[in-house]
A and B are shown apart, each in its own frame.
Chain A
Amino acid sequence: MLILSEDQKLLMASARGAVAEKAPIAEFRNLRADPNGLGFSPAFWRAAAELGWTSVLVPEAFGGLDFGVVGAGLIAREMARELALSPFLSTSVLSASALARAGSREQKADWLPRIARGEAVVAFALDEGSRHGAIATLATRTGGGWRLDGVKQFVLDGHAADAMLIAAKTGDEAALFLAPADAAGLSRDARTLVDGRRVATVTLDGVRVGADARLEGGAATIEEAVDIGRAVISAALCGVAEEAFARTARYLKERRQFDRRIGSFQALQHRAACVHIEIENAWSATLQALQSIEARANSAAFDVAIAKAKASETACAATAECLQMHGGIGMTDEFDIGLFLKRARVDSVLFGDAAFHTDRVATMLGY
């Protein structure tokens, strides 16, 4: 059933209020203006912890709420409406679910309670270059553990992290390794992306970790955690598109040219209607994916591919239409609509763009 439970509706409503109050777009502009900062506001992150968002995917046994993936998606969607920045995706979604599913008993006991309390940032270091998914980083066995060598890019919150989960190849297989951010041989450079967000390039030069640093499982484990991230980021893309379009619909009802409101022109009405339809579809596909993961349905991987492809495509196209409908003012940095366009582009690329996931859909459908 593609509907929200009462608890989920309550979570969504409280998240909307909290984000609007504590992390409005003005706050994002402040963070963007400080090139050497953390990239998020510690005060907002503490508030998120108090609201339980940091523990949404942490099992109850480790101090979490275990509220579920749909809940995580709803939080991400609401934060995206105000372009709020926080380590939610990296730490509370990707790393928390990877640790909860595949961490050793010690790793879980060490990190999950701190993640739940909002006291630790754990980055998730996966991609290395322009194309999502290719892993060249090597994990080599040493006497007492593993040695990691490689370069990770686009590591969300990597510059602010206390630790990171690093995907590396152990020969034929890929696996996740947990390393403290201050490990010898690990260096990080903060880079700025087109949407103003900062990510880290992490260089691993003979980083030594213990035998117990490796999480259980292999490529399938990584894929499971990444799929959760993809579904949640799809929800964020929906939030970006929905808010940009809501602002545009308001503009169409106010802006006057040729002695009438521009929203009365059929050329704009029909285009706006099409944007609305696509945004509705993107959210439906995303909700489907979130629910499938939560229910551990067999179709989960397929549903996620559909959702990430649809949400990526839609958010980019919708925000571009929204900018066009604003006319010249939409091109100014002072006006917010361009911020949504840029965020949509970055989120659409992270963890596989529309082309990547559409290709997966074709393969899964047998052509």
Chain B
Amino acid sequence: MTVDRTELRAWLEANCPPEMREPPGEDDICWGGRSFMFRSEAQKLWLERCVARGLTVPTWPNEYGGASFTREDAAILKEEMQRIHARPPLVSFGIWMLGPALLKFGSPEQKATHLPRIARGEIRWCQGYSEPGAGSDLASLRTKAEDRGDHFLVNGQKIWTSYADKADWIFCLVRTDPQAVKQKGISFLLIDMATTGVSTRPIVLISGRSPFCETFFENVAVPRENLVGALNRGWDVAKYLLTHEREMIAGGGSLYDIHALDRQAASQARGAKLTNPILRAEIARTAVDTYASEATRQRYLAEAAGGGEIGARSALLKYDGTDLNKRRYELLMSLAGAEGLYFDGNLGPTQDVARGWLRSKGNSIEGGTSEIMLDIVAKRLLELPAD
């Protein structure tokens, strides 16, 4: 352990602006990027101060804008930030996803070019994996990149690209060898969204919000140096990234507010029992399952901190965590009753429940469907046979 907890605590006390110690609303998240508008001076200051100390990406090496923290150091930082309720200074898919992939598979030039910009919040990234014809069967993707020597010519369409309309660059899986079997002909490309031929269209979800886009590529020229890893070996990068993503989800814990349902129930009960015993029982059963599931997440993290890895068990956590979040939202809607159904005009707390409920339906689809997660549990953890 290299980090000095006392010093870190003092630094956070001195440098985290008071406004950044309040829980953020959905619009208060700092995503960074070329077009990002800071909501307040405090938000900007907090980012700059963290960037200067490498704390936006604490475990990355100093040379790429990190603080060279060990996992234990990072855990201490997280605890100390939670202690004062400090918001994360920067949230991005660059930090979560691309960064770890570049650290493992990127060339020295790619690391030096892209990592510091992610760390400083200058470039906002999005992820181009799914296609209209390639969802759970991701490896059947068809967006093609033709090898033209010094560049690739990209044509095709991606879907479910989170925040593509706000992102500066996209990391993409593209088909570079149409003859090879599925996984073998795929490469991992970095594409500047400002390149001619790239366009996006937001998708309106059942919740009425549009966090996802379709992304179109029409004769987009991508310089050869933007290929990550070897040609036709992009699947290795993608697989690493997906596992990492699920581990991050597992380790995050802040992804869902797992106690919101219990709080809402208690506030309706006003010191007595909820009046409907069937609803009360359903909520309590969900609480039992939520606490037990959270204990598993903590146990796996503790085991991993002791030198193991979460590995395929991240699929188990993903399945269970998303299933429970959907159950809790169904019950939050039941608690809200008929008034939870209003969906017009002013955004109030009850409409947030309705939107959250609708949004939660996607939890068990995005990042690998529940059915794929159960396949992974059955095949990798239980080692059940293929035939």
A362 contacts chain B at the CB level, 8 A cutoff: yes
Which residues from 229 to 254 on chain A have a C-beta closer than 8 Å to any C-beta of chain B? Answer: 249, 252-253
Q: A281 near B292 (CB under 8 angstroms)?
A: yes
In the bound complex, residues from chain A placing their C-beta under 8 Å from that of B302 are 1-3
Q: A358 near B285 (CB under 8 angstroms)?
A: yes
Which residue from chain A places its CB closest to the CB of B386 in the assembled complex?
A264
Q: B295 near A284 (CB under 8 angstroms)?
A: yes
In the bound complex, residues from chain B placing their C-beta under 8 Å from that of A143 are none
A274 contacts chain B at the CB level, 8 A cutoff: yes
Which residue from chain B places its CB closest to the CB of A355 in the assembled complex?
B281
B182 shortest CB reach to chain A, Å: 20
Proximity bits, B263-301, A CB within 8 Å = 1, else 0: 001101101011000001101110111011101101100
Q: B288 near A309 (CB under 8 angstroms)?
A: yes
Proximity bits, B306-331, A CB within 8 Å = 1, else 0: 10000000001001100000000000
Given the complex of chains A and B, what is the CA–CA distance between A321 and B32 in angstroms? 50
In the bound complex, residues from chain B placing their C-beta under 8 Å from that of A272 are 378, 382, 384
B381 contacts chain A at the CB level, 8 A cutoff: yes
Q: B288 near A367 (CB under 8 angstroms)?
A: no
Given the complex of chains A and B, what is the CA–CA distance between A253 and B377 in angstroms? 15
B23 contacts chain A at the CB level, 8 A cutoff: no
Proximity bits, A202-239, B CB within 8 Å = 1, else 0: 00000000000000000000000000000000000000
A110 contacts chain B at the CB level, 8 A cutoff: no
Pick from A266, A277, A282: contact of B377, CB under 8 Å? A277
In the bound complex, residues from chain B placing their C-beta under 8 Å from that of A2 are 295, 298-299, 302
B150 contacts chain A at the CB level, 8 A cutoff: no
Given the complex of chains A and B, what is the CA–CA distance between A367 and B377 in angstroms? 35
Known: A306-B288, A361-B288, A367-B266. A264 touches B374 (CB 8 A): no
Pick from B273, B285, B293, B303: contact of A281, CB under 8 Å? B293
Given the complex of chains A and B, what is the CA–CA distance between A249 and B381 in angstroms? 11
In the bound complex, residues from chain A placing their C-beta under 8 Å from that of B387 are 260-261, 264
Q: A3 near B303 (CB under 8 angstroms)?
A: yes
Proximity bits, B329-341, A CB within 8 Å = 1, else 0: 0000000000000
Known: A309-B288, A365-B287, A366-B271. A273 touches B280 (CB 8 A): no
B149 contacts chain A at the CB level, 8 A cutoff: no
In the bound complex, residues from chain A placing their C-beta under 8 Å from that of B289 are 281, 310
Which residues from 344 to 387 on chain B have a C-beta closer than 8 Å to any C-beta of chain A? Answer: 371, 374-375, 377-379, 381-387
Pick from B273, B281, B381: contact of A276, CB under 8 Å? B381
Q: B298 near A273 (CB under 8 angstroms)?
A: no
A119 contacts chain B at the CB level, 8 A cutoff: no
Pick from B299, B377, B385: contact of A261, CB under 8 Å? B385
Given the complex of chains A and B, what is the CA–CA distance between A249 and B371 in angstroms? 19
Proximity bits, A9-35, B CB within 8 Å = 1, else 0: 000000000000000000000000000
Residue from A249, A309, A362 whose CB has the most chain B CB atoms within 10 Å: A362
In the bound complex, residues from chain B placing their C-beta under 8 Å from that of A284 are 292-293, 295-296, 298-299
Given the complex of chains A and B, what is the CA–CA distance between A253 and B374 in angstroms? 17
Q: A263 near B384 (CB under 8 angstroms)?
A: yes
Which residue from chain B places its CB closest to the CB of A363 in the assembled complex?
B273
In the bound complex, residues from chain B placing their C-beta under 8 Å from that of A280 are 296, 316
In the bound complex, residues from chain A placing their C-beta under 8 Å from that of B374 are 269-270, 273-274
Pick from B268, B288, B378: contact of A358, CB under 8 Å? B288
A167 contacts chain B at the CB level, 8 A cutoff: no
In the bound complex, residues from chain B placing their C-beta under 8 Å from that of A253 are 383-385
Pick from A252, A269, A285: contact of B292, CB under 8 Å? A285
Known: A2-B299, A252-B384. A306 touches B284 (CB 8 A): no
Given the complex of chains A and B, what is the CA–CA distance between A287 and B320 in angstroms? 19
A359 contacts chain B at the CB level, 8 A cutoff: yes
A288 contacts chain B at the CB level, 8 A cutoff: yes
Given the complex of chains A and B, what is the CA–CA distance between A358 and B289 in angstroms? 10
Q: B287 near A310 (CB under 8 angstroms)?
A: no
In the bound complex, residues from chain A placing their C-beta under 8 Å from that of B48 are none
Q: B299 near A362 (CB under 8 angstroms)?
A: no
Known: A284-B298, A365-B262. A266 touches B292 (CB 8 A): no
Proximity bits, A324-367, B CB within 8 Å = 1, else 0: 00000000000000000000000000000010011101110111
Q: B384 near A249 (CB under 8 angstroms)?
A: yes
Which residue from chain A places its CB closest to the CB of B269 in the assembled complex?
A367
Which residues from 140 to 188 on chain A have a C-beta closer than 8 Å to any C-beta of chain B? Answer: none
In the bound complex, residues from chain B placing their C-beta under 8 Å from that of A252 are 384
* Nearest 6 Cβ contacts at the A-B interface: A366-B266, A284-B295, A269-B378, A362-B284, A273-B377, A2-B299
Q: A249-B382, A359-B281, A361-B288 are in contact. List 18 more A-B contacts (CB 8 A).
A: A3-B303, A249-B384, A264-B386, A269-B378, A270-B375, A272-B378, A276-B316, A281-B293, A285-B291, A285-B295, A288-B298, A310-B288, A358-B285, A359-B284, A363-B273, A365-B284, A365-B287, A366-B269
Partner-B contacts on A (CB < 8 A): 1-3, 249, 252-253, 260-261, 263-264, 266, 268-270, 272-274, 276-277, 280-282, 284-285, 287-288, 306-307, 309-310, 313, 354, 357-359, 361-363, 365-367
Partner-A contacts on B (CB < 8 A): 262, 265-266, 268-269, 271, 273-274, 280-281, 283-285, 287-289, 291-293, 295-296, 298-299, 302-303, 306, 316, 319-320, 371, 374-375, 377-379, 381-387
